[in-house]
Every structure is written in C-alpha cells, then in structure tokens.
C-alpha cells in the first residue's frame, strides 16, 4: 500500500462515514492527531457554555436554591440514566458519583455481602486488571474475610466455583485492548452461584454494552475516556434492579439515606440506585459530564462499533505498510469479537530508543497516543471524532520515526 493509496482510501472512508459530522461537536486541533481518548476524551463544544451558565447563573445567582430549582440534587440519577442508555441499562439502575475506584470498592463488598452462604469466601480478580482494581479487591477481601485469587480474564468463567462470592473483570483490557466476553463470563459466574462486577472504563462509549440483557450484577466505569466528561469527571455505578433492595453499600452516606435531611444518626438506606450515593455530588464536574453527553443524542452504538472496528483495521493495515518490518507487533487481538477500540503495539528498543522515546517523538510531531511500560504504544480510536485520515497519518508518522532512526 503506497502513501498515496492509503491517503486516498482514508479520504474515501471519511467521505462515507455516517458519524463524520459528529467531529464538529468537539473542540479539536486539526493540526494534531489525537489518539488518546482511551485516557482522556476530547472536550465537546457545549461543555464550556454549560459550565459558564452553572457558575454564573445557577451558582452565582441562585446559590443554594439551585439544588432544587436547577435539579442539582437529582443529577446523579438523571445523568446516570443517560449513561444507562449507552451501557444497556434501563432507567433507575445507574447512579453517577465518586471515582471508579470508590465504586469498585462499593460493588465488590456489596457483592460479597450478597453471598448465599458463609462458605463463599473467595474474590476472583482479573490478573491483568488495572492496578487500582486489584488493590481495592484485595482490600475488600481483607475487610470481608475473603481470600483473593487472581486469574486470567479468559479463564474466569471456568475458575468460578462454590467458594466464589464475586468476580471482578475488566470488559476491555486497558493495556492490550482485548475485549472479554461479558455475556459468557456473566452466565458462567452466575451458574456458579456468584456475582459479577464489570469494569467498563474502556468500553462505555466505545462499543455496545448490554448490562440488563446479559444479566450483569454490578458494573462501574469512568466517564472521562470515551464519554468525554473531562478530567476527573465522576464515575458511574450500575446495580441490577433485582439486587437493589439487598444492596448493602460499605460506604453509607447521608446522600443515600432514605430521608437525608432528617439528619438521623441511624442509617436507613434509600430505595433503588440512590443507595450508591455517598456524599454531596460533585456538581460542577457532574454537570460538565451532563453537557458532554449531549453529543450522544441520536447516536446509534452499532454505528459507533462498526466505525471503531473499521478504524482499527485500517490503522493496522497502514502500520503494516509504513512501519519497518519487525519494529512493532500488535498485542491487540485481530478478531473483531476480541477487540475494543484501541490498538496497542509492542515496540522493542532500537535506534529511536525505547517505546517511551518513540511516543515522545510522535507527540512532538503531532500524533498523540500514550505509552505503557515497558514497551507498549497505545492508540485509542474514538469513533465520534477520529477520522480515517487521522489513522493514516498516525501510522505514517510512526513509520517515519522508526525508519528515520534506523537509517541514522
């Protein structure tokens, strides 16, 4: 594939892209290829104006009245329902607030407390999980008298057994971009009598998720990646409706009390997903997220998934064409059923330096991805704003960096 042929193919694919107009709804620098939406999504244009209104009018003019008059108090559930549509959850099962880490802790402890017998004293955790999930799972296990057992996500279904209380699994591996089989793992863990907690950080907003249809018990996820909520945007917690009356959060706060303003020293949990709340909502970041979610209005997640796969396929073909043979190797699965919305390339040390040096040079040349030690280059493809021309340019510049260093 020549440079000209690749560029022509990219232009044709962009011209046929049904999501192409969505890019105009984001504040992007056209001189930069931004492929790090799997770490921090680009800002939707409507967010700045919404925050200005919240600060200037709602907070500035209404003050404390805005909790009721502007709907601040119910925002965690209202925004949660908007996210619910994107992860296959009917209204009333998703609440927004706190961080992913805090929500992982709530969900794992609550799942252990739901165990049908005291003999269920095992917490399974994805061996390749994002480190924080592992730290919190171990802490939750200590607090609940459970043992922790790390297993490969691919083996989770067969490893769940009579001692398992809960399995904490990443839907998409943050390092490799591997997509795990949520329906099959959920069904197997349930058949073993245990609960599932799914980490959706790298799948919410990147591909269709069907939490209700697939029988998930709990799910958590951040909102600053593919949902574009902004740095530090609050996370979400999903609690399946059938479990809500038994959801015993380890972090009971006044916001999840049945009558929060009674200031009762005795805790009585509210009904529904509200039990997932703890303290006062993070209103500024929560409403920035609410505005960011406007870009999803009318978007078909099947179209998002189709474009994601087309982008990553095209990028891999361009990498094969442009990059000197043997300099990089994809650790992201080739099979569509096993791929999220990123491509991770192992890059051995060479004339251009290690993978960290290569990524630093890519960023200097206007191609922004990221690097995971010791040798992985990550490129995230956000279908709402990433163009095929961006994929072609990123692969071409990667080839130039590695080829130029080899020649030197």
Cβ count near 317 (within 10 Å): 16
Cβ pair 288, 229 in contact under 8 A: yes
Q: Give the structural domain span for 288.
A: 49-296
One domain for residues 64 and 19:
no
Comparing C-alpha atoms, which of 131, 305, 126, 134 is closest to residue 204?
A: 305
Helices 3-15 and 388-407: angle between axes, nearest 10 degrees: 160
Cβ pair 88, 210 in contact under 8 A: yes
pLDDT digits (tens, 9 = 90+) for 139-185: 999 999 999 999 999 999 999 999 999 999 999 999 999 999 999 99
Structure tokens of 17? 């892209």
One domain for residues 121 and 180:
yes
Render the burial of 272-286: b for 16+ CB within 10 Å, e for the rest: bbbbbbbeebbbebb
In the chain, which stretches have pLDDT less than 70? 1, 405-408
Domain annotation covers residue 56: yes
One domain for residues 13 and 66:
no
According to DSSP H, which parts of 337-377 are helical?
355-364
pLDDT at 4: 83
pLDDT at 1: 61
One domain for residues 331 and 383:
yes
Q: Which residue has the tokens 């407390």?
A: 113
One domain for residues 215 and 280:
yes
One domain for residues 356 and 389:
yes
pLDDT at 3: 77
- Give the three-state DSSP class for 199: strand
- How many whole angstroms separate alpha carbon 158 and alpha carbon 272? 32
Strands 218-221, 195-199: pairing is parallel
Domain annotation covers residue 310: yes
Cβ pair 201, 222 in contact under 8 A: yes
Domain annotation covers residue 271: yes
Cβ pair 406, 45 in contact under 8 A: no
Domain annotation covers residue 41: no
CATH number of the domain that 320 lies in?
3.90.1150.10
pLDDT at 286: 98
Domain boundary among the residues 296, 323, 344 is at 296
One domain for residues 265 and 310:
no
Domain boundary among the residues 238, 269, 296 is at 296
Cβ pair 123, 108 in contact under 8 A: yes
Domain annotation covers residue 196: yes
One domain for residues 245 and 387:
no
Q: How many structural domains comprise the chain?
A: 2
- How many whole angstroms separate alpha carbon 98 and alpha carbon 110? 16
One domain for residues 276 and 346:
no
pLDDT at 307: 98
One domain for residues 132 and 116:
yes
Domain annotation covers residue 69: yes
Domain annotation covers residue 37: no
- How many whole angstroms separate alpha carbon 159 and alpha carbon 124? 8
CATH number of the domain that 138 lies in?
3.40.640.10
Cα 30 to Cα 27, 34, 366, distances in angstroms: 9, 9, 10
Cβ count near 124 (within 10 Å): 28
One domain for residues 191 and 258:
yes
Domain annotation covers residue 67: yes
pLDDT at 352: 82
List, as own/partner pairs, every contact residues 144-147 make where C-beta atoms lie below 8 angstroms and the sequence separation is at least 24, other chains included: 144/109, 144/112, 144/113, 145/121, 146/112, 146/121, 146/122, 147/121, 147/122, 147/123
Is the model's pTM score more than 0.95?
Answer: yes
Q: What angle do CA 372, 227, 276 make, to 5 degrees?
A: 100
Domain boundary among the residues 296, 324, 354 is at 296
Active site residue ranges: 130, 199, 224-225, 378
One domain for residues 7 and 20:
yes
């Amino acid at each position: 594939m020549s440079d000209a042929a690749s560029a022509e193919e990219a232009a044709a694919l962009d011209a046929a892209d049904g999501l192409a107009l969505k890019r105009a709804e984001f504040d992007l620098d056209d001189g930069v290829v931004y492929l790090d939406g799997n770490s921090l999504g680009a800002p939707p244009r409507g967010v700045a104006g919404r925050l200005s209104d919240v600060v200037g009018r709602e907070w500035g003019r209404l003050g404390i009245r805005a909790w009721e008059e502007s709907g601040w108090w119910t925002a965690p559930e209202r925004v949660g329902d908007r996210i619910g549509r994107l992860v296959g959850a009917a209204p009333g099962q998703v609440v927004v607030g706190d961080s992913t880490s805090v929500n992982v802790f709530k969900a794992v402890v609550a799942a252990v407390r739901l165990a049908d017998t005291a003999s269920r004293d095992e917490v399974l955790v994805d061996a390749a999980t994002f480190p924080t999930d592992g730290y919190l799972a171990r802490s939750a296990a200590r607090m609940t008298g459970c043992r922790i057992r790390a297993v490969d996500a691919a083996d989770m279904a067969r490893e769940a057994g009579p001692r398992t209380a809960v399995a904490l699994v990443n839907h998409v591996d943050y390092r490799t971009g591997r997509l795990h089989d949520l329906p099959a793992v959920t069904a197997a863990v349930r058949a073993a009598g245990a609960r599932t907690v799914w980490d959706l950080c790298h799948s919410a907003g990147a591909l269709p998720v069907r939490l209700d249809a697939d029988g998930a018990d709990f799910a958590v996820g951040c909102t600053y990646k593919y949902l574009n909520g902004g740095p530090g945007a609050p996370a979400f917690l999903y609690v399946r409706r059938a479990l809500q009356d038994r959801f015993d959060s380890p972090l009971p706060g006044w916001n999840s009390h049945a009558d929060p303003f009674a200031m009762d020293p005795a805790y009585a949990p509210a009904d529904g997903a509200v039990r997932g709340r703890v303290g006062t909502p993070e209103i500024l970041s929560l409403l920035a997220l609410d505005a960011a979610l406007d870009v999803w209005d009318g978007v078909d997640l099947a179209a998002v998934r189709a474009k994601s796969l087309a982008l990553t396929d095209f990028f891999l073909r361009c990498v094969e064409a442009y990059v000197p043979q043997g300099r990089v190797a994809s650790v992201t699965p080739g099979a569509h059923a096993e791929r999220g919305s990123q491509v991770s390339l192992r890059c051995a040390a060479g004339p251009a330096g290690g993978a960290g040096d290569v990524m630093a040079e890519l960023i200097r040349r206007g191609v922004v991805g990221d690097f995971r030690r010791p040798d992985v280059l990550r490129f995230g493809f956000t279908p709402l704003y990433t163009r095929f021309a961006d994929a072609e340019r990123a692969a071409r510049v990667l080839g130039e960096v590695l080829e130029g260093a080899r020649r030197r």
